[in-house]
């Protein structure tokens, strides 16, 4: 192992950690060492056991076997409270903040004040602001969390951990919600913390984050450690191979295709979000047959609402949606499907699937009442089963059987069920929203190949994603969305990451980019 | 997590059903054991008491018939609640729907003098269904159109229905003697025929059986049942798939109300031949428990309805033999519910963590 320190014990040591969930082994004899003042990447695909391992260190799970040492001393955590008492703080992928409370209230939540049982906001405010200043975490302590952008909420989470005396920070996929520029700022904050002597575990599956920021990297695959390396000693290709366990096949070739007639036309769409605030402020774009149009943008700039309007799940307050030339403005989802829409929704389990129902049933969610799946209002179980077998085979879905409930499948296989269902209806326009979120590399590649295959099959694809890499790799044209407006449309052949990144932050005023599609 | 290993196949339907029935059996045994302690405290012999309970329910043809007569309305109302709950529509209004079904039935029954049976009987059955269905539909419309919580509205509708019936049996429809708060007997031709005289078994049991078969088809085999299950399991997915959630709720609110209305109708036309002030006596609430214990599955609801009816019928003979009050059986019924709930609670993470703390390492 490439440990730095020989004299003092390392900050944290995990020895031979094993954790089962039912028959699934999440961690299998994992060793992990975190030195003082280092940023240590925990790299692996979804399901490799990264988050489980760190949840064990944070006291959320107890390991089946193995030992945890903090500063050389064996500890046993039954709850995060005990981990926090040992100077360990964790920022989860989904923030654990109370939206209705202010930053200050969130930071001090559950802490004892000097004058129990009375709160002493004055004292707390001073100390929280001191902490924020000393680590360059610019944040208004009196703002309500619900009104803050996610990037700032993340700072609040870190502030919360630091204020509770954390010397070791665990960050779970922290950059997923940030623009490229925000990522840079965020990395500066982390570097500052490292200089101040903090140790940081960065859970990630993004290779460039490892090489750009980290000192060391531990790679997990299938619950086992496959390597511990100095970050300046490895290439991204080596890391990718360690992570996946084999060389990655090249993703699907892009054929040259001349786009055909428009299959999705949107004109001047405006709509409100769930809180009745303006979410879309006049969006116009068109998708033609045989092209992929990518919508790039930071999460929460109107992407969800745009997808919902197109799919008939949200009524626009102005504008028009046409699918295959048919007016689908404010139409029911049924009419949108009938007009030729396929829809891979953002929230797999929440919207795309009925988790308790079987794979077979989920595969006929829209078509269950049509021939051959039903006659005279009675389901034809044989036809549904036969369809399921065919789709399981065609999309190589790994499910125990067609009767397996979809919530027991892995994320990748759940997404394949949705892909199978949506593509089997032969749509003319496929609306794909965050189609690879949370998927491992192989599954994500499968999704990408299917989208490219659809493009080659003369289907139009509207790809809405916050993964800029995905947008850049797949799209023919890139439309950037910011605060409910399309701030520009770029040809993907000439678009640069930096340019798109600036536009995502609303900082591009180049008039030529504003040309409407 | 990682891919599900091929060995981890979900349990088949049969083993799922046997698991549910097994759970219910364990809960019943545990509840009876607790009841035994209470009987001991009361100074009686629980073994003698339970033998009397069992004999009271299943010891003679007459007692078995009584169980079936009691189970019939529970089953009808329970089926309606099952399909409603399965669709995510929390209809707590079976009690009120039973009252309104009974009121509609008695109104037809009182006016059916001189009608032939082949007109009067379908008319009274239809009236019972319609009375409950209309009463169930109003909260359904409110839910589907303006999003008013059906939990609140159906509970409120219970009170309204109770007092409407109260008004009719003391006012416009009070018996000729004007002595008791009840109506005159309905026309003979509108009565559900007795089978197996001199027992009280009546043709309502066929209605309940037909309803079970129909509901089985609707819930398990029909395209509507598929949509209802999707709506109940994941409303967002239902909307996404183009299923009209509001329409589904509208239909189930009407069907559930209609089935409860039939329960009220069989009490009027099959058991009492008239409408009493308190014709339901809380059956609409017991039916909720029956539906839940029956795992919202038509077959399960049949089993649970018979179980609860048997406990009710056996309670009287237990009281006669060992002198403990009937209310003890209500305690046992409540304990059955608690033990079924406890099983899922014991699987809860919190209990597992507490359990681990006390376990020697």
Mean pLDDT, consecutive 10-residue stretches, chain B (361 aa), reads 37 63 83 91 89 91 94 97 95 96 97 94 97 97 93 96 95 88 92 89 95 95 95 93 94 97 96 92 92 90 93 88 85 85 62 55 40
Are B8 and A337 a contacting pair at CB < 8 A?
no
CB B322 within 8 A of CB B45: yes
Q: Which residue in A366, A368, A398 is closest to B3 by CB distance?
A: A398
Are B237 and A365 a contacting pair at CB < 8 A?
yes
Class of domain A12-244: alpha beta
Name, in order, each residue with C-beta under 8 angstroms of A286's C-beta and a sequence gap of 6 or more.
A262, A264, A265, A266, A517
Q: Which residues of chain A have pLDDT under 70?
A: 1-7, 246-253, 508-517
Residue A345: its chain B contacts at CB < 8 A? Answer: 240
The sign of the dihedral angle between the CA atoms of A64, A66, A72, A74 is: positive
Residue B234: its chain A contacts at CB < 8 A? Answer: 350-351, 353-356
pLDDT score for A358: 93
Alpha-carbon gap, residue B305 to B74, rounded angstroms = 6
Alpha-carbon gap, residue B314 to B329, rounded angstroms = 9
Are A333 and B236 a contacting pair at CB < 8 A?
no
Q: Find the closest chain A residue to B222 by CA distance.
A: A378
In a domain, B234, yes or no: yes
Q: Which residue in B229, B240, B242 is closest to A352 by CB distance?
A: B240
Q: Are strands A216-221 and A39-43 parallel, antiparallel or unpaired?
A: parallel
3-state SS, residue A313: coil
B219 reaches A (C-beta below 8 A): no
Give ipTM to 2 decimals: 0.82
pLDDT score for A116: 74
B222 reaches A (C-beta below 8 A): yes
- Using alpha carbons, list the distances in angstroms from residue B138 to A290, B77, B146, B148: 50, 17, 12, 11
Are A356 and B226 a contacting pair at CB < 8 A?
no
Closest CA to A89 of A21, A24, A135: A135
Q: Are strands A378-379 and A374-375 parallel, antiparallel or unpaired?
A: antiparallel
B344 reaches A (C-beta below 8 A): no
Q: Find the closest chain A residue to B231 by CA distance.
A: A354
CA angle B112, B116, B118 (to 5 degrees): 105
pLDDT score for A510: 54
Token digits of residue A120: 């002493």
pLDDT score for A139: 85
pLDDT score for A516: 42
pLDDT score for A35: 94
Distance from CA of B353 to the nearest CA of A (A): 9
Terminal CA-to-CA distance of chain B, rounded, Å?
28
Going by the DSSP 8-state scheme, the letter that residue B115 receives in this structure is -
The residue with tokens 């019924």 is: B333
CATH, range A249-340+427-517: 3.40.50.300
In a domain, B8, yes or no: no
Q: Which residue in A347, A374, A413 is closest to B223 by CB distance?
A: A374
The residue with tokens 């954790």 is: A19
Domain count, chain B: 1
Which residue of A354, A399, A402, A421 to mutate against B (max B Cβ within 10 Å)?
A354
pLDDT score for B25: 84
Distance from CA of B41 to the nearest CA of A (A): 42
Furthest CA-CA distance within chain B: 80
Q: In CATH, what number is assigned to the domain containing residue B185?
A: 1.10.3470
pLDDT score for B15: 64
Are A353 and B237 a contacting pair at CB < 8 A?
yes
Are B1 and A47 a contacting pair at CB < 8 A?
yes
Terminal CA-to-CA distance of chain A, rounded, Å?
55
Distance from CA of B268 to the nearest CA of A (A): 34
Domain with CATH 3.40.50.300 in chain A: 12-244, 249-340+427-517
Are B1 and A26 a contacting pair at CB < 8 A?
yes
Burial A185-224 (b: 16+ CB within 10 A, else e): ebbebbeebbeeebbbbbbbbbbebbbebbbbbbbbbebe
Range of the domain at B170: 45-323
């Amino acid at each position: 192992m490439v440990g730095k320190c020989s004299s003092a014990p390392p900050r944290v040591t995990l020895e031979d950690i094993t954790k089962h969930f039912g028959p699934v082994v999440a961690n299998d004899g994992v060793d992990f060492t975190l030195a003082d003042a280092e940023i240590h990447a925990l790299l692996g695909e979804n399901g490799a056991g990264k988050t489980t391992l760190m949840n064990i260190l944070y006291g959320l799970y107890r390991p089946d076997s193995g030992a945890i040492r903090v500063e050389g001393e064996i500890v046993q955590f039954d709850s995060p409270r005990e981990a926090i008492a040992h100077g360990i703080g964790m920022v989860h992928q989904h923030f654990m903040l109370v939206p209705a409370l202010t930053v200050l209230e969130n930071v001090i939540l559950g802490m004892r004040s000097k004058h129990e049982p009375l709160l002493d906001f004055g004292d707390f405010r001073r100390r929280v602001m001191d902490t924020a200043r000393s680590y360059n975490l610019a944040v208004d302590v009196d703002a309500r969390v619900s009104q803050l952008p996610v990037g700032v909420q993340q700072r609040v989470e870190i502030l919360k951990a630091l204020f509770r005396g954390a010397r070791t920070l665990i960050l779970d996929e922290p950059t997923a919600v940030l623009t490229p520029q925000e990522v840079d700022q965020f990395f500066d904050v982390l570097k500052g913390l490292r200089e101040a002597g903090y140790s940081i575990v960065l859970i990630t599956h993004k290779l460039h984050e490892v090489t750009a920021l980290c000192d060391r990297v531990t790679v997990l695959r299938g619950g086992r450690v496959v390597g511990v390396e100095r970050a300046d000693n490895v290439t991204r290709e080596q890391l990718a191979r360690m992570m996946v366990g084999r060389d990655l096949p090249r993703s699907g070739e892009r054929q040259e295709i001349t786009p055909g007639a428009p299959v999705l036309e949107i004109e001047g769409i405006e709509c409100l979000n769930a809180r009745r605030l303006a979410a879309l402020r006049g969006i116009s774009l068109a998708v033609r047959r045989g092209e992929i149009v990518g919508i790039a943008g930071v999460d929460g700039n109107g992407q969800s609402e745009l997808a919902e309007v197109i799919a008939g799940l949200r009524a626009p307050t102005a504008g028009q949606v046409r699918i295959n030339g048919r007016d689908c403005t404010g139409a029911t989802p049924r009419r949108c499907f009938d007009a030729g829409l396929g829809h891979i929704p953002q929230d797999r389990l929440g919207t795309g699937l009925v988790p308790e129902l079987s794979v077979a049933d989920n595969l006929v969610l829209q078509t269950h009442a049509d021939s051959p799946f039903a006659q005279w209002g009675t389901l034809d179980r044989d036809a549904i089963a036969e369809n399921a077998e065919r789709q399981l085979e065609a999309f190589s879905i790994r499910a125990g059987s067609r009767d397996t409930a979809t919530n027991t499948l892995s994320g990748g296989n759940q997404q394949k069920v949705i892909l199978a269902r949506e593509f089997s209806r032969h749509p003319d326009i496929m609306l794909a929203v965050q189609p690879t979120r949370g998927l491992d590399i192989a599954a994500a590649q499968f999704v990408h190949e299917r989208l490219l295959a659809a493009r080659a099959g003369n289907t139009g694809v509207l790809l809405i994603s916050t993964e800029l890499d995905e947008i850049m790799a797949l799209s023919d044209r890139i439309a950037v969305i910011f605060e409910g407006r399309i701030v520009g449309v770029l040809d993907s052949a000439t678009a640069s990451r930096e340019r798109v990144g600036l536009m995502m932050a609303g900082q591009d005023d180049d008039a030529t980019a504003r040309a409407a599609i | 997590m990682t891919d599900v290993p091929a060995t981890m196949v979900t349990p088949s339907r049969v083993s799922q059903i046997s698991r549910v029935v097994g759970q219910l059996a364990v809960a019943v045994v545990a509840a009876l054991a607790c009841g035994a302690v209470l009987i001991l405290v009361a100074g009686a012999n629980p073994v003698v008491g339970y033998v009397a309970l069992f004999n009271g329910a299943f010891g003679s043809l007459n007692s078995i018939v009584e169980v079936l007569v009691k189970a019939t309305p529970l089953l009808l109302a329970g089926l309606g609640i099952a399909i409603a709950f399965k669709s995510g529509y929390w209809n707590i209004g079976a009690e009120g729907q039973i009252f309104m079904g009974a009121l509609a039935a008695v109104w037809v029954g009182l006016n059916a003098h001189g009608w032939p049976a082949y007109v009067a009987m379908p008319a009274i059955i239809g009236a019972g269904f319609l009375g409950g269905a209309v009463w169930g539909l109003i909260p359904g419309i409110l839910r589907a159109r303006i999003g008013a919580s059906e939990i609140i509205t159906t509970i409120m509708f219970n009170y309204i229905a109770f007092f409407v019936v109260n008004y009719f049996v003391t006012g416009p429809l009070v018996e000729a003697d004007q002595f008791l708060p009840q109506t005159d007997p309905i026309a003979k031709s509108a009565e559900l025929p007795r089978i197996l005289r001199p027992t009280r078994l009546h043709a309502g049991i066929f209605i309940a059986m037909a309803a079970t078969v129909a509901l089985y088809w609707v819930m398990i085999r029909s395209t509507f049942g598929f949509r209802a299950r999707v709506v109940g399991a994941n409303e967002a997915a239902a909307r996404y798939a183009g299923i009209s959630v509001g329409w589904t709720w509208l239909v189930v609110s009407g069907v559930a109300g209609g089935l409860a209305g039939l329960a009220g109708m069989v009490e009027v036309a099959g058991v009492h031949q008239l409408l009493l002030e308190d014709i339901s006596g809380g059956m609409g609430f017991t039916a909720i428990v029956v539906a839940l214990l029956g795992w919202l599955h038509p077959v399960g609801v049949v089993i649970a309805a018979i179980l609860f009816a048997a406990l009710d019928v056996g309670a009287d003979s237990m009281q006669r033999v060992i002198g403990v009050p009937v209310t003890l059986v209500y305690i046992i019924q409540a304990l059955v519910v608690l033990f079924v709930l406890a099983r899922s609670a014991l699987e809860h993470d919190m209990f597992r963590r507490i359990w681990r703390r006390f376990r020697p390492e």
